[in-house]
Structure 1
Amino acid sequence: MPGYGKWLKIIVAVVAFVLICFFLHKYIQPLQEVVKQMGFWAPFGLFLLRGVSIILPALPSSIYSLLAGSLLGFKTGYTTIVLSDLLFCSGAFLIARKWGREPVSRLVGQSAMRRIDGFSQNQLEGNFFLMTGLLMTGLFDFLSYAIGISRTHWRIFAPALLISVLISDSIIVAVGAGVTQGAGLILGIALLAMFALATMTGLLKRKSHHSKCD
């Protein structure tokens, strides 16, 4: 049953998120000591790991936002993730726009390519607000490739990416910072915002599907 499969994925994702938050809360102090000793290399390492997860979208990416907030603090973590997303999402967009579907398919694999094709066929380049909203979700890495394949111009993609990154990254990084710093109010607001983004993901995916059918 399709509905059962969707709910199972949501439950697994929620359980995984809770376990990660518990692990960070319990073992954060020794991890933060290691990060302090690493100096510049800690944010740079997270910057690269986040970037690889964007270029190869089969890899999980949200975990790096969570780690950035918990290990680096909100300010440094947020800056690290925003810069990584802007650079590597732009890279994914330019790869797709310059070389097209086939090189992207070889890079990301067939499974990821099916998701990218699903977005690129929805004519997102004609809807700036839908594009921006979808880029705020966990699908932003696939979307960057899909928008590039659709031949959207850079001047349309760039502001959509900037707006989405500044908003969505702040939420997950704040969750990571709240888990480790015991900031209950910040954590609660961030979790509510994450729930809102998840709801928006479903609504926007449904809307893009309907626009494709029309």
Structure 2
Amino acid sequence: MVKAVLLVVALAVFTVAALLLPLPPLEEIRGLVAEAGWWGPVGFGLGYAAPTLAPLPKNVLSIGAGVLFGFGPGLLVVYLAAMVGASAAFWLGRALGREAVERFTGTRGAKAEDVLDRHGFVAVVGVRLVPVLPFTAINYSAGLTSLGWWPYFLGTLIGIVPGTASYLALGAYGFDSGARAELALAVLGVLTLAGVALAARARRRSTTTDV
């Protein structure tokens, strides 16, 4: 829930800044990025993958990729960077061990570990579909489970598509009024509501079990 609130605040700040600050035209921004050649997407990809190892907001970076590169190229950059970061955190979590990971992720990691251990690939796809769930904690916690890397990798590969594409579309088309930006907002709304519903359901189950 806290992450959802922070995400809404970040999106609001991003929107207000885009409306109030004297930003150059979108075509001019993308032209400057294009002049950087391969260094542009490579640098952005590295800058995206690194925060994946820490509990920092990455969805705003996805929106930024849509603004800078457009939908197609931006999606490719973010998709590859997210997979590199998620894979690195998985193996790092496995190497560091439970004590270090739990000190880093707290109770969120323990809950994620339990779900992933019991439901494997299906759980990975499920938690990745919801953009408000703690991406970094899930990465590290998955490394502590009996889940193999391939189910984790494939589940992440599939599960992050809707949320990532929606944030990219929001950045790529959000400056223009039209169905594509509205569709991106609608998908994000549905995924966020699904995340809130899943969190509430998990909390009720936890309370029932404790009683």
Category of TM-score, reference length = shorter chain: 0.7 to 0.9
- Could you tell me which amino acid in structure 2 is paired with residue 117 of structure 1? A
Q: Percent identity?
A: 23
Q: Which moved more, 1:168-177 or 1:124-133?
A: 124-133
**Correspondent of 2:194 among 186, 197, 200:** 200
1:177 aligns with: 172
Offset of residue 193 of structure 1: 0.5
1:104 aligns with: 101
Partner Cα separation in structure 1 for residue 15 and residue 24 of structure 2: 10
**Correspondent of 2:14 among 7, 17, 20:** 20
2:132 aligned with 1:140, yes or no? no
Contact map agreement 2:101 2:141 (CA 8 A) in 1: no
Contact map agreement 2:89 2:139 (CA 8 A) in 1: yes
Alignment of 1:2-151 (within 5 A): 13-24=7-18, 27-29=23-25, 30-57=28-55, 59-104=56-101, 110=104, 112-120=105-113, 122-127=114-119, 128-136=121-129, 137-138=131-132, 139-151=134-146
TM-score, normalized by length of structure 1?
0.81
1:3 aligns with: none
Q: Which moved more, 1:85-94 or 1:14-23?
A: 14-23
Cα deviation code 1:38-86 (max 9, x no counterpart): 22222112211211111012x2111110000011000110000100111
Offset of residue 210 of structure 1: 4.9
Partner Cα separation in structure 2 for residue 114 and residue 96 of structure 1: 15
Q: Which moved more, 1:12-21 or 1:163-172?
A: 12-21
Partner Cα separation in structure 1 for residue 16 and residue 106 of structure 2: 34
Residues paired across the two proteins, number: 201
Offset of residue 34 of structure 1: 3.0
Cα deviation code 1:74-111 (max 9, x no counterpart): 01100001001111101111111233123435xxx64x
Any gaps of 5 or more consecutive residues in structure 1?
1-5
Contact map agreement 1:174 1:190 (CA 8 A) in 2: yes
Partner Cα separation in structure 2 for residue 97 and residue 157 of structure 1: 13
Any gaps of 5 or more consecutive residues in structure 2?
none
Partner Cα separation in structure 1 for residue 117 and residue 197 of structure 2: 18
Contact map agreement 1:92 1:145 (CA 8 A) in 2: yes
Partner Cα separation in structure 1 for residue 143 and residue 158 of structure 2: 18
